[in-house]
Structure 1
Amino acid sequence: MNLRREVINTYTPPAQPGFLGAGHIASPVIQVDFSESDPFIMLMDDRLNKQDGKPVGGPHPHAGFETVSLLLEGEMGDEAHRLKGGDLQLMTAGRGIIHSEIIDRNTSMRLLQLWLNLPKKDRWTEPRVQDLPFEKAPTHSLNGVTVRVYSGSLAGLKSPIQNYTPLIIADIQLESGATTIQHIPASYTAFLYVIDGSIQVGHKASNIQQDQVAWLNRSSDKVLSDLILTGGESGGRVILYAGEPQGDAIVSHGPFIADNQEDIRQLYQAYRQGTLKHIATVPASQRILF
């Protein structure tokens, strides 16, 4: 019998003023220790209602991990790297990169941005960017359940995104009372974030409401597990994150993730000396648009 995935921890992330100023509300979705969330370092839910044309955001560095940006609504980026609602971008910062997230117009947007730990052997890999537009993400609808897979494999669908860390990201929408059983590796760390409505999770039918996070039990066994989801009274929409733990301690400081403090010092030195390149200079072979 497959492991039954059940909810072991649930909470509502606090909404707080964001660094972009007026109209920016940020919710830190991951509220557990990294030993429990590995390979997930951080996930921010950024809501922005911008009512002027003053540019916000700007160039900043990253290294030692990947950012996985799922834009739920709105637009962001420059003309060369524009994201629209439903698009996903996975940026492998690797040995170090500078990128710009500039918003210079009136806009309403909502962005989920994940920091994903890299396997230790790949921490300093060459930077890479992958863009998966909404219309290219594999999608399946049946019996009141729609599954859109952005990373990994689920529901018989496989994303074209190339992963260093095995990762499943799926947008799952359920009509009221509609049920689905999805199969994910039992050893993967997994959590659900309800975007709209409500859902029931597992054989215990744990009720999870809009804006709530639900962490699931896991096993060290290399087998599949069953995840049961049912749409609530008015249906529900949930983002599933599931990834393979890497089991290595990390050091986090500012925009950098590393193996030790000396690595952090060298990254800051490289940034100050201007030796980190901008993402726009990444070779065409490292820029993948599906």
Structure 2
Amino acid sequence: MSISRKINHIGTPRNQQGFLGSDHIARAVIGVEFSESDPFILLMDDMLDKQDDEPVGGPHPHAGFETVSLLLEGEIGDSAHKMNGGDFQLMTAGRGVVHTETIDRKVKMRLLQLWLTLPKKDRWAAPRIQNLSLEQVPVLSEKGVAIKVYSGTFAGLTSPVKNYVPLIIADITLQAEVSIKKNLPGSYTSFLYVLEGSVKVGEEQKLLKQGQVGWLDKIADSDQIELLLKAEENGARFVLYAAEPQGVPIVSHGPFIGDSTDDIRRLYQEFRHGKMGHISEVAESQQYNW
């Protein structure tokens, strides 16, 4: 008898005023403690309908983790690392780096940006940037089903993106009443975030609606467990996030993640003294473009 993952918690993130101005709406998707979401620190759903040409955003530092960005619509970034709709970027901040996210004209944009912890042994890794264009994303397209795999291996597809923490990110679209059954590691921390429509999950067919996040149960001492998904009458589009927990507590403050408060103090000092270079200046060996 097969075992399937099921929903054990549903959250509904609220719209908040974003820091980029009145045209920016932000949702904090992860509404649980890090001990439950490990290795996911936070996930922001940023929606911007910019009505002027005044620049917003700009350069800022990060350290101790990775930013994982999936641009659903629009464009963002500087000339060296510009993203368009459907593109994906994984930036390893590691020991510390500055990057730039600037929008300087009228644009409608929606960005999912995840903060992902690093394994303790790789906390201070050399900064690295990986850009995966929409055209190079592995895609499964069959009757009523479209799956794009941006990271890891899922549904028989494998992304070229390199991971410190084993990570699966898949953008899944199901047409009305279509169901699929795919394998997913039972021990991974996993959740679904619904962008459009609604989907039933697991043998219990627990319903997730647009704008909701559904956390899956974990099944210890297991490898691949079935994930059953069925779209409602209007179809569904959602993003699957699944990753291996690291089991290491973190200290979070501002743009930095560390193992202790001493780490945080050190990182602020290094940034103030100009010791963090820009991501566009990292060695070629630390830049990957697909």
Q: Normalised by the size of structure 1, how large is the TM-score?
A: 0.99
Superposed CA offset, 1:172-199 (max 9, x none): 0000111111111110000000001111
Is the 8 Å Cα contact of residues 89 and 130 (structure 1) preserved in structure 2? yes
Cα offset, 1:115, TM superposition: 0.1
Matches within 5 A, 1:88-237: 88-237=88-237
Aligned to 2:263: 263
Aligned to 2:242: 242
Alignment pair present for 1:26 and 2:33: no
- Kindly tell me the number of residue pairs found equivalent between the two proteins: 290
Residue identity matched to 1:222: S
Moved over 3 A (4+): none
Quick one: distance in 2 between partners of 1:219 and 1:121? 26
Aligned to 1:281: 281
Q: Aligned with 1:274: secondary structure?
A: coil
Quick one: distance in 2 between partners of 1:210 and 1:111? 16
Quick one: distance in 1 between partners of 2:208 and 2:242? 17
Q: Aligned with 1:57: secondary structure?
A: strand
Superposed CA offset, 1:190-243 (max 9, x none): 000000111111100111111110000002213211110111111000100000
Change (3 A) 1:3 1:36: farther
Aligned to 2:65: 65
Quick one: distance in 1 between partners of 2:27 and 2:251? 22
Quick one: distance in 1 between partners of 2:102 and 2:164? 27
Quick one: distance in 1 between partners of 2:222 and 2:268? 39
Is the 8 Å Cα contact of residues 203 and 228 (structure 1) preserved in structure 2? yes
Residue identity matched to 1:49: D
Quick one: distance in 2 between partners of 1:261 and 1:287? 30
Superposed CA offset, 1:64-100 (max 9, x none): 0000000000011122111000000000000000001
Cα offset, 1:2, TM superposition: 4.4
Superposed CA offset, 1:235-269 (max 9, x none): 00010000000000000000000000101110000
% same residue:
58
Q: Aligned with 2:103: secondary structure?
A: coil
Alpha-carbon RMSD across the aligned residues, in angstroms, is 0.8
Q: Aligned with 2:41: secondary structure?
A: strand
Is the 8 Å Cα contact of residues 3 and 224 (structure 1) preserved in structure 2? no
- Structure 1 unmatched ranges of 5 or more: none
Aligned to 2:17: 17
Quick one: distance in 1 between partners of 2:268 and 2:206? 45
Quick one: distance in 2 between partners of 1:212 and 1:151? 22
Q: Aligned with 1:135: secondary structure?
A: helix
Quick one: distance in 2 between partners of 1:3 and 1:16? 38
Alignment pair present for 1:47 and 2:47: yes
Q: Aligned with 2:221: secondary structure?
A: coil
Quick one: distance in 2 between partners of 1:80 and 1:65? 21
Cα offset, 1:141, TM superposition: 1.2
Cα offset, 1:273, TM superposition: 0.5
Cα offset, 1:143, TM superposition: 2.4
Quick one: distance in 2 between partners of 1:193 and 1:92? 23
Q: Aligned with 1:280: secondary structure?
A: helix
Superposed CA offset, 1:104-133 (max 9, x none): 000000000000010001010000000001
Aligned to 1:86: 86
Quick one: distance in 2 between partners of 1:26 and 1:2? 39
Residue identity matched to 1:289: N
Superposed CA offset, 1:144-193 (max 9, x none): 11111000001110000000000000000000111111111110000000
Q: Aligned with 2:240: secondary structure?
A: strand
Is the 8 Å Cα contact of residues 183 and 226 (structure 1) preserved in structure 2? yes
